[in-house]
Structure 1
Amino acid sequence: MYEYEFVNIENDWHGKPKENEEDIIKTYAKDGWRLHSIIPLSTTTGGTTNLKLIFEKETH
């Protein structure tokens, strides 16, 4: 069985993440989480507004 953690990263008005996604991934990895997916969330105009990072960890 697995548990999942979801992290949203907002983008600035240039479309760049406001937080460093690599730092977030490394922080979660130190706690035993594995990056499962990164999903770009977009507006109706096609611009990316946020990134959703999905982490998973096996439960015991």
Structure 2
Amino acid sequence: MEFIMVLVAVVAFIGYSLRVLNEYERGVVFRLGRVGGARGPGVIFLIPFIDKMVRV
């Protein structure tokens, strides 16, 4: 039972952490409300509840 709970927590963490930008999209990452930088196309890793990404 504990293994299942840990597995669900890991899957949820990964689900909240990864974002995918298409080749025609760009993203701006905000960390704690401040601009963290621009990101290009591909897989983007975000820290849940700390980082926020806005697609441009």
TM range (shorter): under 0.3
More strand by share: 1
Where is the helix percentage greater, Structure 1 or Structure 2? 2
Normalization by structure 2: what TM-score?
A: 0.25
Larger radius of gyration: 2
TM-score by length of 1: 0.24
Q: Higher RCO, 1 or 2 (CA under 8 Å, sep at least 6)?
A: 1
